[in-house]
Structure 1
Amino acid sequence: MSCVTWRSKWASPFLSSPTQTVLGDILAELTPVRHTPMLSADKTKLVEGLVRFAREKDVLLSWKIDGLTLVLRYDDGQFRQAITRGRESIIGEDVTLAVRTFLNVPLTVPDTEPFGVWGTVSSPGRISRRTTPISVKPAPIRAIWRQ
């Protein structure tokens, strides 16, 4: 079915379609942004290392998921900016326009004080232990930003 035929058959687009949330032009490059250092945690493959780290504290352990580390900045209840971890963990890139299209990133929040959320964007649906050998890394998420 051609795009023209599809459009004539479906008068209104699917509201969940990314074509309904993409804003602006394609950027030739991303704007560098200096931010608070985002350091990574120490890594271990030994149970003893985890026990030493936890000591007497309650901890939650999970598998390491590769992805793109982001900071989301909110101010006055509005999503303002999304920044990558970037070079040396202090100069990232502004990816706000792309992140605005993510359905699970709230554009408004009830808290009006400025705050940031640090997390990892990943694509777990693309990773399967049955089909992907452990030694093979998935395609970098960064490719999403630089089409």
Structure 2
Amino acid sequence: MADAIKILFGVSDTEECRKAIPTIIKLFARRSEIELTLLHVIPETIVLAESGIVDYASLEHLKQEESNEILNKFASIFNNEGIICKKILRNGNPIDVVLEIANEFDLLVIGASESSLLLRIFNSHQNSFINSSPIPVLVAK
């Protein structure tokens, strides 16, 4: 058997990511040569506390729980369709983290940005991934 095709899907709690699910299922469900890895990145937190009293540990724990819940929801959907997933949770800048590990994979899947035209042009992770990725990128919508 040939080596498995390793797919990295950057997930977040957004409509764009949820809309990519049917495309991934259609293309890759029930194929034994596929390894799907779900990656969620917790952006670095900047807290401006006027009182000076912030429970950073509690805030980080909450973000960790929310992020694990996102990964588990996506994994459950794919598992129900016969796609077994690995899950990775990292902290940092989403673009940097994805590009840091991209060489370990054969294909990067991201959800298509469907927000306003100005936001897509000036604030799109999608463009950064496409332009900077060392591997092919599938923009699913």
Q: Say whether the fold is shared (TM-score over 0.5).
A: no
Normalised by the length of structure 1, the TM-score is 0.23
Bigger-Rg structure (1/2): 1
User: Taking CA–CA contacts closer than 8 Å with sequence separation of 6 or more, which of the two structures ends up with the larger relative contact order?
Assistant: 2
